Amino acid sequence: MKPSYRRKATLSFVLALLLWGLPLSSPAQDVCFDEVTAGRMVVELERIPNLQRQLVIQESITVELTAQRDLLLETVRLQKEQVDLSKEALVSQKELMAVQAENCKREIEAAKPSFWERLGTHSASFGIGAVIAAVLVLLL
């Protein structure tokens, strides 16, 4: 498992302190660093608190982005369910419309008079017209 950046930075800091502290406490006082190495060590030691703050910020950003991702995944799941429900509702609506169209056709057919009803109506009208004509012929 890879050590975290915070752990690496802490280890670097401890190592730098050990390298700086050992020559002071050892009997051999002739251990020293050239200017370039010492300069790099100072720069790295000064960067550690800054890097630790950046690490904390990055960790909080990671937590926030993970939470946002989870929310987006939940949103996508809910939207998929909503689409599925809408599809089912559309199919049900189409079936309902087909049944209603069939019922309308039946009602239209039922409302139309049949051949025999029309024949009866025409015959009755003809009969009434014949009676009126006969009464008029008798009166005149």
Give me the phi and psi of 113, to 5 degrees please: -70, 145
Total domain count, the chain: 1
Query: Would you state the pLDDT for residue 103?
Result: 92
Higher pLDDT, 136 or 33: 136
Decide if 33 contacts 41 (C-beta within 8 A).
yes
The whole-angstrom separation of Cα 137 and Cα 130 is: 10
Average pLDDT over residues 23-40: 68
> Does position 2 have pLDDT exceeding 60, yes or no?
no
Tell me which residue range forms the domain holding 88: 5-139
How sure is the predictor about 55, in pLDDT bands with cuts at 50, 70 and 90?
very high
The whole-angstrom separation of Cα 81 and Cα 58 is: 34
**If you search the block for the tokens 């079936």, which residue do you land on?**
95
The whole-angstrom separation of Cα 13 and Cα 44 is: 8
Query: Would you state the pLDDT for residue 31?
Result: 59
What percentage of the chain exceeds 90 in pLDDT?
36
Task: Give the range among 69-78, 108-117, 123-132 with minimum mean pLDDT.
Answer: 108-117
